Amino acid sequence: MAKSYQTNDVYNEINVNERYKAERKADPKIFFYKEGNPFLGFMHFLRRNPVPPKQIDEQKLMIDLTDYARKDKRSKIISGIVFFVCTIIMIILKGYYEINILIFLEIVGAIILISTIIAIIMFIIKSLVNKEDPNKYTLADYKNYVIGKAIEGEVQELVYEPHFGIPQSVYKDLNAIINGNTYHTEDLITGKYHDVYFAQSDLVVEYKDDDSSMTYFKGRWIGFNYPKQFQGTVIIKDKKFFYGAKRKKLSDIQHENPLFNEMFTVKSSDMHLAYYLLTPQIIERLMYLKQNAKGKIVACFKDGILHIFINNGQDSFEPNLRKINLMSDIQKFKYDFSLVSGIVAILNINDNIYVQHKEEPSYQNNPMPPINNNGF
C-alpha cells in the first residue's frame, strides 16, 4: 500500500454554484492570505466535511482509472451517435421542406428542443452510470498521485484541488486580459518551492451568445509570491496577443532592451516600479518563455504577486485516457513543472538583489542565471 500524497481533505463541497457567485462578488484581497501560503486563500469559500485522506493502492488505482476511461469513451460514442443522427435528420428535412422555409425552421426548432431533452437525459444516465463509488479511485485521485510522485522532495506543503483555480474576481481585478461572460478554472496546484510560494491552474475565458463564441484566453495561469513586497501594477503583454485589456490610466514603458520592446508592450502605474521589477534576468526569462512556452504570454506584477498567463490553448496536465501510462504521466508532469521551477530560480536571485539595494537594481550587476537541461 503506497502512501497518499493528498495533503488536504477530500473535496466535498456543499454548493458549488453558491461558491462561484460568492467568488465573483468578493473583494479580491480576501483570496490572498497574509501568512503562510497566500494562495490557500483561493479556497476561501470552500465548505468541506473533514474526512481522512485516501491511501493509494497503485495497482487498484490503475484498474479503476482504466474502468473510468472505458465508461468515458462509451459516453462520448453515444453522444456522437445522437449528434450524427440529429444532423442527418435536419439535412433530410431541409431538402424536403426547402420550398417552405418557415415550416423548416419550425421543424429545426422542434429537433433542437428534442435534442436538448435527449442531452439532459443522457447527462442524467451518465451521472448515474459513472456515479462516484467511494470504494473506487477517481481521475482526480490519479492526477493527485501523479503530481505528488513527480515533485516529491521538491515541493513542500503541496496541495492539489481539482475544482479550484484563480478566482474570477482576482482575474477581473488584475484587468490584464479582456473579461468574457463565461469563466472556468480548475486543477489548482500550490505549494512552496525553494522558499517561494507558487500556484498554478488551468483557465478558460470566453464570450458566448446565441450566434457565436470567442475565446479570449485558454491556457495556464501561474502565480508567485514575489520576494519583495510592492504596491502598484506592471503589465507585460506579448504583442501577438490581441485580447489584452485596455488600461488607459497606466503609462507605457520602454525598456533599454530593443528585442524585448519588439516582443512585448509594458504598462505600469509607476515608472520607477517598472524599472525596479523588470531586471535583466526577468527580461531575458520572459523572452525565453515567449519563445519556448508555445503560447502568447501576459505577465502582471500586482501588489506583491507575479501573475503569468500562458495562452497556449491547452490544459496543463490531462492524462491520455486512451493510453494510460503512469510513468509517462509522471515524467510529463516533471517536465511541465520545470516551467514553474525555472521562474522560481530567478525570483531567488532577485531576492538577494532586493536585500542589497533599496533603489532600482543596477542593470550591469545582474548576470543571467544558468539554464538547466529543461530550459530553465
Record the cell numbers describing residue 220, joined without a space.
Answer: 495556464
CB-CB neighbours of 1 under 10 Å: 9
Split at pLDDT 50, 70, 90, the class of 341 is confident
Q: Name residue 205's beta-bridge partners.
A: 183, 217
CB-CB neighbours of 322 under 10 Å: 8
Residue 297 CA to residue 310 CA, distance in Å, equals 5
Q: Tell me the mean pLDDT in the region 20-30.
A: 89
User: What are the backbone dihedrals phi and psi of residue 228, each rounded to the nearest 5 degrees, phi first?
Assistant: -115, 120
More reliable by pLDDT, 134 or 160: 160
Residues ≥6 apart with Cβ < 8 Å to 164? 42, 43, 46, 185, 186, 188, 201
Residue 128 CA to residue 159 CA, distance in Å, equals 29
More reliable by pLDDT, 362 or 184: 184
Domain ranges of the chain: 58-129, 140-356
More reliable by pLDDT, 53 or 216: 216
Please give the pLDDT value at position 267.
Answer: 94
Please give the pLDDT value at position 10.
Answer: 45
Q: Tell me the mean pLDDT in the region 221-226.
A: 92
Residue 354 has pLDDT above 50, yes or no: no
Instruction: List, edge to edge, every strand of the sheet that includes 251-253.
Output: 155-161, 182-193, 196-208, 213-225, 305-311, 296-302, 233-238, 264-268, 251-253
Among 51-65, 106-120, 232-246, name the one with the lowest average pLDDT.
Answer: 106-120
More reliable by pLDDT, 336 or 367: 336
Residue 287's SS3 state is helix
User: What are the backbone dihedrals phi and psi of residue 371, each rounded to the nearest 5 degrees, phi first?
Assistant: -105, 130
Instruction: Please tell me what DSSP assigns to residue 11.
Output: P
Q: What pTM was estimated for this model as a whole? A: 0.76
Residue that is written with C-alpha cell 529543461 in the block: 374
Residue 138's SS3 state is coil
**HSE-CB of 244 using CA atoms within 13 angstroms:** 22
Q: Tell me the mean pLDDT in the region 232-240.
A: 94
Per-chain mean pLDDT for the chain:
78
pLDDT tens digit sequence for 43-97: 888 766 545 557 788 888 888 888 877 777 777 677 677 767 766 766 666 565 5
